[in-house]
Amino acid sequence: MKAFRLLILIALLGMVGRMNAQTEMLGQREEKLKELSGKARVQEALNLSREYYVARDLEKSAEMAGLAYTEAAIENDSEAMAQALSLESKALLADLDLRPAQRLKAIKKLQESTSLTSRIALKLENLKLLRQVYAQIGKNKELREVEREIARLTAEQNKGLEQELAVASQEKEKMTEVQASLAKTLDQIEGAIQSMSESQAKSELLLAQQKSILDSMAFLSMIDSLKLSQQDMLLSEQEAILREREAQLGMQKAQRNFFVSLTALVLVLAGGLTIRYFSMQRYNRVIAAEKQRSDDLLLNILPQKVADELKLNGKAQAQVFENASVLFVDFEGFSQFAANLPPRELVETLDFCFQRFDQISAKYGLEKIKTIGDAYMAAGGLPSPDPANPQKVVDAALEIKEFLDEWKEEREAEGKPYLRARIGIHTGPLVAGVVGKKKFAYDIWGDTVNVASRMESSGVSGKVNVSATTYDEINDEFEREHRGKIPIKNLGELDMYFVEKKVKSEG
């Protein structure tokens, strides 16, 4: 991995070095440009503009084109001015951060370049750029005009090519005529020679040959001069094209190397990021599982609403509930029962009963408060107030009684000892809240809790004993037995009722 990273670094450094070398070379030519003047200065500025454009240094390309335009204007060279305006427009339009003001400037320069030049090829190049810009900005009218002009110039260009071909054909015909004329002249000369004396013939032939040679030399000289002029022009254009191609090839090679290196680097980074992503996913799953486990443990201790408040604020405020019902379940004769069972079986038996009590409490929306030895305590109407909590708590108590009766029958059938329980309920105001810092506990306080405890201790095994207050809340919904006033320690005499079962609704 280290060797691979080193290779990537070397490739990047090499690419940067080549780009710096190309930039340095262009900078040196730009310095030499200051020594030039006239048309040579104009031509070199145009060449630099093209090469900066290929190297994607658009700002420099536009700067060199602007310089070429200024110098060409001094030289009154409209064709060079047109080329400079076209190059500057291309540099402006290639800018990725092209602003509307730049676009408008480029459009004006392209229009001016088109009006200055007489070269159809440059006109077409400018018009095609204008067509692209108008299509991008949605100027349909201008776009149609430009497309008509492109079609006209293309036709004119084709016509010009046809004319050039026609001229070349005519030149060929003229050369053929000249050759035929020369052949005819030679025939005439040969005829004249035959009629002359030998010495005259020789003299005339020599003069004719010399004149023909001179004419041929003058003609060849003129053709050579024309060819040299054309070759100079072609060489100049080819040199410019060659420099542009060399710059393009260099830039393409540098870009290819850059993209190869960049691709390798991206693949390495993508691999690292993928590994990192899956590691984070695995870590997040572990964290989520641990958080869920922590939340589940917290919900085993605290009600959902209180747990949420505790997680949000770091503490939970105590609440006063004006109407809540407290349920106590206490096994009768537990000490004797425990003496006849091994400790492990005793704990398993208690756990079996308390788990069933928890299921019944959850079914009726009760909140389990705690277990104290063999006693079980739950409450209805908290942590969220519920006007129907007395009925729900009595329903839960009757189902607990029914469960214990069925369990008693099963244990008797198996010849095993069983437990019977007293159940007491009282309804009234109380305070609920969280106590402790290291080991949280949700608890309730108030006279309602004490009276509910007395309802259980003053009850009878296998019965649900409720206070008059609870009875008033469930008056007509359950069958009941009035026990009268029962003396309670520190509380005097209190009315109590045994609740048997729910009254069936008529119909």
pLDDT digits (tens, 9 = 90+) for 168-210: 777 777 877 777 777 787 777 667 656 655 566 566 667 766 7
The crossing angle, in degrees rounded to 10, of helices 304-313 and 198-301 is: 120
Nearest to 482 by CA among 490, 472, 492, 391: 472
Is the pLDDT at 298 greater than 60, yes or no? no
Dist CA 191 CA 347 (whole Å): 149
Q: In the structure encoding, which two tokens stand for residue 227, read together?
A: 């060819």
Tokens of 185: 């002249």
Q: Average of pLDDT values for 259-275?
A: 80
- Report CA Rg, the chain: 55
Give residue limits of the domains in the chain.
36-184, 317-502
Q: Do the beta carbons of residue 380 and residue 389 sit within 8 Å? A: yes
Give the confidence band of 3 by pLDDT, cuts at 50, 70, 90.
low
Write 314-319 long-range contacts (CB < 8 A, 24+): 315/434, 316/433, 316/434, 317/433, 318/431, 318/432, 318/433, 318/434, 319/382, 319/383, 319/431, 319/432, 319/433
Give the type of residue at 305.
K
Going by C-alpha positions, the residue among 83, 66, 73, 87 that lies closest to residue 38 is 73
pLDDT computed for residue 391 by the predictor: 93
DSSP state of 501: E
Q: Does domain 317-502 have CATH number 3.30.70.1230?
A: yes
Q: For residue 507, what pLDDT is reported?
A: 43
Mean pLDDT of 318-327: 92
Instruction: Decide if pLDDT at 255 tops 90.
Output: no
CA separation for the pair 39, 33 (Å, rounded) = 12
**Percentages helix, strand, coil for the chain, rounded to the nearest 5?**
70, 15, 15
The torsion of the CA quartet 356, 396, 427, 444, rounded to 10 degrees, works out to 20
Most confident of 25-29, 94-98, 418-422: 418-422
Region 39-47: what's the mean pLDDT?
Answer: 91
Greatest mean pLDDT among 151-160, 231-240, 334-343, 459-468: 459-468
pLDDT at site 15: 58
pLDDT, tens digit, for every residue of 124-160?
898 999 998 899 888 888 889 988 989 998 888 888 7
Main-chain dihedrals φ then ψ at residue 493, nearest 5 degrees: -95, 135
Instruction: Retrieve residue 127's tokens.
Output: 């018009």
The pLDDT assigned to 442 comes to: 85
- Which CATH superfamily, name and number, covers 36-184? Tetratricopeptide repeat domain (1.25.40.10)
Q: What's the pTM value of the predicted model, to 2 decimals?
A: 0.45
pLDDT of residue 360 exceeding 90, the answer is yes
* Predicted pLDDT of residue 441: 80
- Quick check: 118 and 83 in contact, CB under 8 A? no
Q: So what's the pLDDT on residue 199?
A: 61
pLDDT band at 363 (very low <50, low <70, confident <90, very high): very high
The number of beta carbons lying within 10 Å of the beta carbon of residue 275 is 10
Question: How many CB atoms are located within 10 Å of the residue 178 CB?
Answer: 11
Identify whether the C-beta of residue 394 lies closer than 8 Å to the C-beta of residue 425.
Answer: yes
Taking the C-alpha atoms of residue 498 and residue 479, their distance in angstroms, rounded to an integer, is 9
Q: Mean pLDDT in the chain?
A: 82
Residue 317 burial by Cβ neighbours in a 10 Å radius (0-12, 13-18, 19+) = exposed
Q: Check whether 329 has a pLDDT greater than 90.
A: yes
Give me the pLDDT at residue 200, please.
63
Mean pLDDT check: name the lowest of 242-256, 320-334, 404-418.
242-256
Q: Is 364 helix (H, G, I), strand (E, B) or coil?
A: coil
Measuring CA to CA, which residue among 434, 430, 170 is closest to residue 303?
434
Find the mean pLDDT for residues 317-344.
89
Gap between the Cα atoms of 486 and 463, Å rounded? 16
DSSP symbol at 505: P
Q: Are strands 464-467 and 492-502 parallel, antiparallel or unpaired?
A: antiparallel
pLDDT digits 0-9 by tens, 474-497: 877 788 889 989 888 888 889 999
How far is residue 255's CA from residue 262's CA, in Å, rounded to a whole number? 10
Q: CB-side exposure of 297: number of CA atoms within 13 Å?
A: 8
For the ranges 37-51, 156-170, 371-385, 389-403, the lowest mean pLDDT is seen at 156-170
3-state secondary structure of 482: strand
Beta-strand pair 367-372/420-435 = unpaired
Rounded mean pLDDT of 431-442?
A: 80
**Backbone dihedral angles phi then psi of residue 492, each to the nearest 5 degrees:** 80, -155
d(CA 130, CA 37): 32
